[in-house]
Amino acid sequence: APPGHTQDGGQETSFRWQCVEQPIGKLLFRRFLEGSAEFAAAGALWAEIEAFEQCEDDEREAAAKKLRSRFFTPGGSEHCGFLSAAATAPPAG
């Protein structure tokens, strides 16, 4: 198995497999995030990133600015302060 992954009876148990790739696991994990005041912003960010990935190319710049102001601006109600500076830095260029 790749580093960081464990196997249990042949079944992959990584976070990505359980909470991203499996529809039921993803739904349950998202509901957990959304149901907790502490993690609600993370759940909202995840949903918005997935929506961003579906944007047409000409909509991406405006969508990215909206994401940055909503989730990456300190002091905002949905600021995701747990993200690293590298994760929240605007793209170079």
CATH number for position 58? 1.10.167.10
| One-letter amino acid of 38 | E
Residue 53 within any structural domain of the chain: yes
pTM: 0.76
Establish if 6 belongs to a structural domain: no
Q: Two tokens at 10?
A: 């042949």
The verdict on residue 22 lying in a domain is yes
Provide the 3-class DSSP secondary structure of residue 1.
Answer: coil
Average pLDDT per block of 10 residues along the chain, 93 residues long: 55 87 95 94 95 95 92 89 85 71
Q: What is the pLDDT of residue 2?
A: 54
pLDDT of 8 reads 56
**Tokens 């959304």, located at residue:** 34
- The token pair at 78 is 């949905």
Place of tokens 């909470």: 19
Report residue 20 as tokens. 């991203």
Nearest alpha carbon to residue 46 among 65, 18, 25, 67: 67
Instruction: Write out the residue range of the structural domain in which residue 27 sits.
Output: 15-88
In a domain, 82, yes or no: yes
pLDDT on residue 13:
81
Number of domains composing the chain = 1
Domain annotation covers residue 3 = no
